[in-house]
Structure 1
Amino acid sequence: MIILERYLARAVIGGTLLTLGILLPLLGFFILADEIDAVGVDGYGLADALVFMALSLPRYAYQVFPIATLIGALIGLGALASRSELVAMRAAGFSVARIIRAGLLGGVLLAGLAVFVGEVVAPVAEQRGLELRRQALSGDVTQQTPYGFWAIDDRAYVNIREIASPTRLRDIFIYQVDADAGSLVATHAAGARYSEAGWVLEDIARSRVSAAGVEVERMERAEWNSMLDPGLLKVVVVAPQMLPVWGLYKYIRFMTLNKQDAGPYEVAFWGKVLHPVLTLSMIFVAIPIILGSARTTGLGPRIFVGVLVGILYYLVSRTFAFVALLFGLDPLVAAIMPPLLFITGALFLLRRVG
């Protein structure tokens, strides 16, 4: 029986890898098509667009992994059903529960692969691709924010106008209010660099405003003890979907301390945490579809059903995400409800075919 379980698990894994092998080139084509308009601008050439496409693919692979798993399970197990192998297994006493367990065994390995791609490969590749694209288009790696990046740093208010890199900042304003002394200290630094010892401000103009008047002080450089570190600034310039789970968690804590809305990041965080559950639920959904059709349905209809279920899942998950952002639904509930709904539907189908 263990041999049969491995055989079914390999079918699921093989079908999923085959599906990814078809989907990723298509996704790469669409990414490249979006970049064509930028080709020829400044130093951005076709080779740069191809590199950007290649570095963007891991994130898209991670995003479509659950749907690829669903279609792959339908292809892999469907091939066995078409050759009557599933029927023979069930006639020999191989229960539906064992078939589900074998499929989920392959799903665990696939979920592990998806986590590795989404947490290790994709964030690094995506950030590198964006840096190369910005550098080619503008000749500089500076990330200019429209209104600057604001943060509450202990009892100071910090405004960073330009984040050149996680360790290099430009045009920094620091406002400190001392209520006991009745004074305001406003510091402007042309730049800041991060070293092992911490931040160092450069070309500083500091004004102290009090009842006695205004005192102005200028310094070439000074140490800056701040809770802002390169790891945190690294996630500031990246969309939530591009961040690893730990980066999202760290940024959510930071935004909560700064009394800012962390809703989009919380939705993305729980979506990533539950991503392996989603991958397994897609296999669970595929099995009753296969058992219900057995030998009567060809490969084309199965793929079509898989695509429809994938589209339906995307619409349901996006609906819950918008409800969480607009109406205050708990992000954990918004992330876990779509898999639960589809697993419930799969259990209902299993009762009919089992």
Structure 2
Amino acid sequence: MRWPMFKQVDRLVAMAVLTAVGMTWVTLVALDAFRIFIIEINEVGQGQYSLTKAAAYVLLTVPRRFYEMFGYSALIGGLLGLGGLANSGELTALRAAGLSKLRICASVALGLGVLTIAVALLGETLGPFGERKAQALSLAAKSKDVALAKGGALWARDGETVISAKRGHTRGGEIDLAGVRVFEFDGEGRLLSLSVADGALHTQGDWTLRNVRRTEFSPESAMSTQHAEARWKSGLDPHLLAAGIIQTQYMPLRDLSRNIDYLDRNRQDASSFRNAYWARIFYPFNVLVLVFCAVPFAFGALRSGGLSKRLFLGIVLALGFQLLQNAIVNFGVINGIHSALANTFPPLILIAAAFAYFRRNA
């Protein structure tokens, strides 16, 4: 006889929370998109980059921004939704009816579960697709020498030289390109040489090709040489190339996995891709754990400091969790701990702290 009541309770709590999450989500994404649009306006006039293209660029990145902002929106919306129930007395009524804080928090997590799955799918489909289209639009308008091809391949021109790279990533001030081909032409468009390299690293103003095979062509013959490393003189703007590289946190799982396999096969450092891969795997779990552990701050809002105090404490918890996660993941990278294991520790610590709280304040 009690199960229907529990279903009604879940519906009541879920609707209150999801409504607040939706309003918070749209507001945060709109503010973030407007902030980026203001920044892009400063780029208008560079090449053929117009105000219309700036607006299109921002709109194409909106799906990715929805994905990024969901965790903060779920946390703040969960606190606001339960705070609204507390202000109306409904939360007190639920507690008086015998529902524990743990049970009410489970209703919040249940309501957000389906939405979290949908957001995870967004981060694997429309988010990366829109980001690639936005980067391609921006590069094509701002420069005639750098372009993104289908699949994220990077093409650039430096005088009579054409360069292509299958993928790339940035690390601090370094730019690392993988699957590099360098085509050198003469003034009449004839191919003089082709260099195929596993990668190219730009650091401290110089380019270095790794494991490069260079073939020089003449009307009568072709001659090939192999080098473990070779200097590459190029006037390419590394900042413009960096703008054309899709950041690891914006890549879907399939692209991250492909990059990890490629770098591992060539005995190169794949830590940045591996960290991004496991961070994306744990993303839905981390969101639900964070919301589940933060919503207790909404209880008793009217009795001790008001909702603003609880909201502030919840946001502090979110920032603390993010700092803890970054610290543990970076510690794992330095000490050779697998990224999957390193990403497991922060939510487990938070869950342990939450259950200790629930046992003391059931």
Does the pair score TM above 0.5? yes
How far 1:282 sits from its partner (Å)? 1.8
The CA deviation string for residues 226-248 of structure 1, in whole angstroms up to 9 with x for no partner, is: xxxxxxxxxx9422111111221
- Which residue of 2 is the match for residue 89 of structure 1? 94
Q: Is the 8 A contact 1:8 1:103 kept in 2?
A: yes
- The residue number in structure 2 matching 1:100 is 105
Give deviations 1:289-320, integer Å, cap 9, x for gaps: 12354654434333322322222222222223
- The yes-or-no answer on 1:207 pairing with 2:228 is no
The corresponding residue for 1:241 is 249
Q: CA deviation at 1:186?
A: 4.6
2:75 is aligned with what amino acid? L
Q: Is the 8 A contact 1:56 1:125 kept in 2?
A: yes
RMSD: 3.2
Worse overlay, 290-299 or 241-250:
290-299
CA distance in 1, matches of 2:110, 2:320: 25
Letter in 1 for 2:264: T
After superposition, the C-alpha distances for 1:310-348 in whole angstroms (9 at most, x for unaligned) are 222222222233323444332112222222222222222
Partner of 1:173: 195
1:103–1:205 CA distance, 2 compared to 1 (3 A): farther
Q: For residues 308 and 29 of structure 2, what CA distance do their matches in structure 1 show? A: 19
**From 293, 296, 299, the counterpart of 1:285:** 293
1:301-320 matched pairs, under 5 angstroms: 301-320=309-328
Could you tell me whether the CA contact under 8 Å between 1:288 and 1:349 is conserved in 2?
A: no
2:53 to 39, 48, 52: 48
1:207 counterpart letter in structure 2: M
Match of 2:71 among 55, 59, 66: 66
| Percent of residue pairs bearing the same amino acid type | 28
CA contact (8 A) 2:289 2:350 kept: yes
Q: Is the 8 A contact 2:182 2:196 kept in 1?
A: no
Q: In 2, distance between residues paired with 1:161 and 1:237?
A: 18
Change (3 A) 1:95 1:250: same
* Deviations 1:1-29 (CA, angstroms, capped at 9, x unpaired): 21111111122211211111211111112
Q: Does 1:75 align with 2:80?
A: yes
Are residues 1:5 and 2:27 paired?
no
User: What is the SS of the residue equivalent to 2:128?
Assistant: helix
In structure 1, runs of 5+ residues without a counterpart are 152-156, 163-170, 177-183, 190-202, 211-235
Stretches of 4+ aligned residues off by more than 6 angstroms: 145-148
1:332 is aligned, of 336, 340, 343, to: 340
Q: For residue 224 of structure 1, what is the aligned residue in structure 2?
A: none
Q: Which residue of 2 aligns with 1:21?
A: 26
Is the CA contact 1:8–1:99 (under 8 Å) kept in the aligned structure 2?
A: yes
- The equivalent of 2:44 in structure 1 is 39
Task: Provide closer, same or farther for how the CA distance between residues 60 and 320 of structure 1 changes in structure 2, counting only shifts above 3 A.
Answer: farther
Q: Is the 8 A contact 1:186 1:206 kept in 2?
A: no
Aligned residues: 296
CA distance in 2, matches of 1:340, 1:29: 36
Structure 1 residue identity aligned to 2:223: S
Contact kept in structure 2, 1:59 and 1:118, CA below 8 Å: yes
Structure 2, unpaired ranges of 5+: 1-5, 149-153, 168-177, 184-192, 199-211, 227-243
**TM-score computed with the length of structure 1 as normaliser:** 0.74
Q: What is the aligned partner in structure 1 of residue 202 from structure 2?
A: none
The Cα shift of 1:96 comes to 3.1
Partner SS state of residue 299, structure 2: helix
Shift of 1:77: 1.0
Give 1:173's aligned amino acid.
S
> Corresponding residue for 2:181?
160
Q: Judge conservation of contact 1:175–1:185 (CA < 8 Å) in 2.
A: yes
Q: CA deviation at 1:274?
A: 0.5
